[in-house]
Amino acid sequence: MFGMAGETEFDLRFELLGVPIRVHPVFWISSIWIVWDGDDPRRVFVGVLCIFVSVLVHEMGHGLLSRRYGYPSEIVLYILGGYATATRFSTWKNVKVSAAGPAAGFLLFLLTYITLLLLAASNPESLIGDSMIGYAIKMMLFANLIVTLMNLVPCVPLDGGRIAESLMNLYGGPQSMERTIQLGIVASGLVALRGIYCINTGADYVPLPQFLFPSFRVGDMIYTWSGSGIQPAPRFMVIFFGFLCAQQVIAYNEIKGRR
């Protein structure tokens, strides 16, 4: 969506599990923008660290499976996320590589969720007030559950769109590209409309059942976590998925115009 990241002299480079990693400076800037809190630099640092770990784990899912299939993938962390360089595999290998990133994100979500439950049972004080631990857990839950769900919307260039594209190429016949784009228009449009609904009603964007979140006692007070603390901003969802929808409409019209 934002194109490939050109190399700069300020790139951070390292290797993890045999996969070369490059972090573009724009990644740090966009991450700081997402978590900015002028009143508490510690929250900014912790927030950026959580985004870094979450994006890296997600892209490692793609990169490791690509390398297992014989392609020397490189991971680049860029604006609002990142990407793993890839090639065209067979249909089902493409599906697996595209799904590996969200799968890694869900695994990290489960580890974070288990940590939340353990802390609520053994050290609840660490989760209340201005606790950096509580803030970090909220950030990790948001990045690895909510953002992963967003990434599975079947709209290119999201992973869900790549999965849909591969399956359409296999089963969609000669109009597979058009059908992929049509699916992307409908899916991204519905997600954007959900954002408008939440703006007007105040509803949580992703309805999460309360029983998933722990309640715990600290002194005479009872605290309850809720899904409201890890919700995406509805206005962002409208803008982001509205932009994706517009991209798909333009692509569809271009295909129609060539015929």
Structure confidence by residue, pLDDT tens digits, 118-144: 999 999 998 887 789 999 999 999 999
Angstrom distance (rounded) from CA 211 to CA 2: 38
Instruction: Find, among 90, 189, 101, 205, the residue nearest to 152 by Cα.
Output: 101
Structure confidence by residue, pLDDT tens digits, 65-101: 999 999 889 999 998 889 998 777 888 999 999 999 9
Residue 4, pLDDT above cutoff 80: no
Amino acid 259: pLDDT: 65
Structure confidence by residue, pLDDT tens digits, 226-235: 888 899 999 9
Structure confidence by residue, pLDDT tens digits, 145-161: 999 999 999 999 999 99
Amino acid 227: pLDDT: 81
Angstrom distance (rounded) from CA 232 to CA 69: 35
Residue 20, pLDDT above cutoff 90: yes
Residue in the block written with tokens 């722990």: 214
Angstrom distance (rounded) from CA 80 to CA 62: 17
Amino acid 137: pLDDT: 95
Angstrom distance (rounded) from CA 156 to CA 176: 13
**What kind and span of H or E run contains 29?**
helix 25-35
- At 194, the pLDDT band (50, 70, 90 cuts) reads very high
Q: How many other CB atoms are there within 10 angstroms of residue 257's CB atom? A: 7
- Could you tell me the residue ranges of all domains in the chain? 1-151, 154-259
Angstrom distance (rounded) from CA 190 to CA 237: 11
